[in-house]
């Protein structure tokens, strides 16, 4: 007996509305896990990156090791990275988050450090002449001027993390990657395409959101371009 011509699930079509309606809860849960893993990893990487950048900027001898180590970490293949972290975190979501944090550090450290180094020395001198101490100078002058570069790094790190989360499917914590992995094993076309498309949508939405935040926080950059 052949499947009805309008049964896209039975035909295993790539685009299938019945898949969206019948797997709505599964898709939503996968999206939420994807967002959670991505956001936690990027925020933790940012919390770690800022002190590393400040140390690298304060002590010249620290800059080369920090940049070198984070660059080496970024070159480690994802499967190898998860294997190295497995004895510490086990088969858990923490394993995926830890791997994403290490990958994000390179992008964040380099961009934030580049932004701070690009602050004109005359601007620093002028602020010091007005009585700004080191902390006030950092918070009110240097970091705001470094924001465009820092947020550019944050955008790249976030989009990369959205993509890399899918690798977590090998340990059962890959968000939409779980659906992609299962769909590839069973050649479930609608599941593979839908989960992949949702990954792209999350990455694009996150990038646009951060771009909007960058423009909101750096109005002087828009005026300079104009």
Structural domain that includes position 17: 11-225
- pLDDT-wise least confident of 69-73, 99-103, 156-160, 215-219: 215-219
Residue 196 binned pLDDT confidence (cut-offs 50, 70, 90): very high
Give the mean model confidence (pLDDT) for residues 69-87.
89
Query: What are the pLDDT digits (tens) for 199-211?
Result: 999 999 999 999 9
**195 domain residue, yes or no:** yes
Query: What are the pLDDT digits (tens) for 94-113?
Result: 999 999 999 999 899 999 99
| Burial letters 164-183, b for 16+ CB under 10 A, else e | bbbbbbbbebbbbbbbbbeb
Residue 48 binned pLDDT confidence (cut-offs 50, 70, 90): very high
Structure tokens at 16: 């299938």
CATH code, 191: 1.10.3720.10
Give the mean model confidence (pLDDT) for residues 58-81.
88
- Please tell me the total count of domains within the chain: 1
200/194 Cα distance (integer angstroms): 10
In degrees to the nearest 10, what's the CA dihedral of 129, 132, 134, 139? -130
**2 domain residue, yes or no:** no
**182 domain residue, yes or no:** yes
**99 domain residue, yes or no:** yes
Give percent of the chain with pLDDT exceeding 70: 94
pLDDT higher at 1 or 211: 211
Residue 224 has pLDDT above 60, yes or no: no
**25 domain residue, yes or no:** yes
**5 domain residue, yes or no:** no
Instruction: Choose among 66, 85, 87: nearest CA to 76.
Output: 85
Structure tokens at 224: 């300079």
**6 domain residue, yes or no:** no
93/39 Cα distance (integer angstroms): 13
**65 domain residue, yes or no:** yes
Residue 222 has pLDDT above 80, yes or no: no
Q: Are 159 and 151 in contact (CB under 8 A)?
A: no
Give percent of the chain with pLDDT exceeding 90: 42
pLDDT of residue 1: 44
């Amino acid at each position: 007996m052949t499947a009805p011509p309008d049964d896209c699930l039975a035909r295993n079509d790539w685009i299938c509305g019945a898949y969206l309606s019948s797997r709505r809860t599964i898709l939503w849960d996968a999206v939420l896990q994807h967002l959670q893993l991505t956001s936690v990893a990027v925020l933790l990487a940012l919390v770690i990156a800022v002190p590393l950048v400040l140390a690298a900027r304060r002590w010249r001898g620290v800059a080369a090791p920090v940049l070198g180590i984070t660059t080496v970490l970024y070159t480690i293949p994802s499967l190898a990275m998860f294997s190295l972290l497995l004895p510490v975190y086990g088969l858990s979501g923490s394993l995926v988050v830890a791997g994403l944090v290490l990958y994000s550090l390179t992008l964040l450290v380099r961009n934030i450090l580049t932004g701070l180094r690009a602050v004109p020395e005359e601007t620093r001198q002028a602020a010091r002449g007005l009585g700004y101490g080191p902390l006030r100078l950092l918070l009110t002058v240097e970091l705001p001027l470094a924001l465009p570069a820092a947020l550019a790094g944050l955008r790249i790190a976030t989009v990369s993390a959205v993509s890399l989360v899918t690798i977590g499917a090998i340990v059962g914590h890959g968000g939409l990657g779980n659906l992609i992995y299962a769909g590839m094993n069973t050649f479930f076309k609608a599941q593979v395409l839908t989960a992949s498309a949702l990954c792209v949508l999350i990455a694009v939405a996150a990038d646009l959101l951060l771009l909007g935040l960058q423009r909101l926080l750096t109005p002087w950059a828009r005026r300079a371009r104009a």
